[in-house]
Amino acid sequence: MSPSGALLLVLAAVAPAFAHHVGAYVPTDNEITTNFKQIKFSVQAGKFDVALRFFETGPLRADMRARAGSLPRGLEAGLSAALAAGDAAEVERRLMVFFAALARDLALDAERRTADPQLSHDARAAIGARFLEAIWRYYNLVDFAVAQRDDKTSVAVRLAFDEAAGYAKGTAAPAGLREPLARIAQVLSVLIESSTPARRGS
C-alpha cells in the first residue's frame, strides 16, 4: 500500500467526535498503534525477543517499509538491530522518529487539503478535524519521549495542535488552520532531523 493510501485508511478510521484540549483526548488505536504498544510494552518488560517478533511480523514494519522514501535512511534496519541488541533507548528513539514522521506527513497533507478552494468552508473544517485526530493518534504515542529530549518541542507541538483544533471548531476555520498545521509539520521536521544525525545513518 502506498503512503497516501495508508493516510486515507487512517482518516477513514477516525471517529467523528474531536476533543479540543489534547490533555483530555485519548485517541482510539488502529493496527499500527496497537503494534507499537505491543513492541513498547515488551521492551519495557525486557522481553526484546518478543518485541522483535512483534516488529518483524506486524503492520508497523510494513508501514515503515511503505514510507521508506520519506523516512530517515536505515530507520527500519536500525530498529531491528536495536531490538536484537536489547537497546531500549535506541528502540525508543527510532520509534519516536517514525511516529513523528507520520504526524508530520499528516500535517502537511492536512495543510494542503484544507486550502482547496473547491471545497466548502464546512467540508474543509471537517477534513481539518479528522486530520488533527489522526495526527494526535500518532504523535500522542511519542510525546513523552519527545518531551524527555526537548520539552520546548513537545510544548510547541501541543500548542499548535490545540490552536488548530480551535480553528477546526470555530467560525474562522479553515483559513486559520493552515498556520498551526504548518507549524506542527515544521517543528516535527526539525525534531526528526535533530534526532537522526548523519553519522548514525538513520
Phi, psi (degrees; rounded to nearest 5) at 194: -70, -20
- From first to last of its 202 residues, the chain has per-residue pLDDT tens of 444 444 444 343 333 334 444 444 566 889 999 999 999 999 999 999 999 999 999 999 999 999 999 999 999 999 999 999 999 999 999 999 999 999 999 999 999 988 888 888 888 888 888 999 999 999 999 999 999 999 999 999 999 999 988 887 765 556 788 899 999 999 999 999 999 865 444 5
**What's the pTM?**
0.84
Secondary structure (3-state) at 152? helix
| Domain boundary assignment for the chain | 3-11+28-200
Secondary structure (3-state) at 16? coil
Crossing angle of the two packed helices 121-149 and 31-44, in degrees rounded to 10: 10
Phi, psi (degrees; rounded to nearest 5) at 73: -60, 135
